[in-house]
Structure 1
Amino acid sequence: MTPHPSDAGDPTVRAIEELSAQIRRSIADLQAADERLAHLAELRARGQSWLDIVSNESRPLVVETITHVLENLGETGGRFRREEALALQRENVSTYRIGQLFGVSRQRISALVRVRDSSPDRGV
């Protein structure tokens, strides 16, 4: 049986922790955006124009918050996906099987691993 790396040095565990923290931040940001949406709907119901509503909305705008949340989740989720694929690869799981597990092609898994292997922080 292959020994498991300690959690402190396991890049996949770090990626899990980063993604978990990002999810918590995203939930808080989206809850705040949802509250602001209720306020925007209330202003509109009172007869304000969309131009007045958006012009007077404080920053970040709801649309900016949503964009920021999606970008951050995409980035941290992508890192997690790469690290998880690499962890499976280190356990000698084939790219075909990893693709099955992830619901993508083996070519997509090969691309994920290749991107990670050629990144500057890998010393390659």
Structure 2
Amino acid sequence: MSTDHTQQDPAVRALTELMTVLDTCMTELQGARSRAEKLLDERQTGRAWLDIVTAESRPLVVEQISSVMASLASAGGAWRREQAHALAAEQVSINRIAAMFGVTRQRISALLRERARGAPA
């Protein structure tokens, strides 16, 4: 595959974006884990949960986790949609794509329609 073609490939762009999001999420999760350890240490000293949580700086650990999950869902959905479209463009059957993804053929059909409309997964 040539470099020009690769740069124009929507699946490559989606995968590249997913990798960027994964890197960011790993950093955020490492920070959340470190903060969670501190919360656990505070709890083990006998502090009340209300005191611990109200003293925690924002974003809260739970907010960080929710943010990471939303980012992964968005980037992962875009990658799945573009990957399904790329496979279909290579004449891979919907049934085979569904088997590879571990979903129903109806879900793959929906992914292909969503991608055609430009809608999020």
Please, what TM-score do these two structures have when normalized by structure 1?
A: 0.91
The code of the aligned residue for 2:111 comes to: L
| Aligned equivalents of 2:41, 2:94: Cα separation in 1 | 52
1:105 corresponds to which residue?
A: 104
| Aligned equivalents of 2:24, 2:59: Cα separation in 1 | 15
**Between Structure 1 and Structure 2, how many residues are aligned?**
118
1:38 corresponds to which residue?
A: 37
Cα distance, 1:21 vs. partner? 0.6
| Aligned equivalents of 2:89, 2:41: Cα separation in 1 | 54
Deviation string, structure 1 residues 39-71 (Cα, Å, up to 9, x no partner): 001111111110010001000000000000001
Please, what TM-score do these two structures have when normalized by structure 2?
A: 0.93
Give the match's secondary structure for 2:67.
Answer: helix
Q: Map 1:19-38; keep pairs closer than 5 Å.
A: 19-38=18-37
| Aligned equivalents of 1:50, 1:116: Cα separation in 2 | 45
Give the match's secondary structure for 2:21.
Answer: helix
Q: Which runs of 5+ in 1 are unaligned?
A: none
2:15 corresponds to which residue?
A: 16
Give the match's secondary structure for 1:59.
Answer: coil
Structure 1 runs (4+) deviating above 6 angstroms are none
Q: Does 1:54 align with 2:53?
A: yes
The code of the aligned residue for 1:101 comes to: M
Q: Does 1:65 align with 2:64?
A: yes
| Aligned equivalents of 2:40, 2:32: Cα separation in 1 | 12
The CA RMSD over aligned residues, in Å, is 1.4
| Aligned equivalents of 1:119, 1:69: Cα separation in 2 | 23
The code of the aligned residue for 2:81 comes to: R
Give the match's secondary structure for 2:63.
Answer: helix
| Aligned equivalents of 1:19, 1:52: Cα separation in 2 | 37
Cα distance, 1:119 vs. partner? 2.3
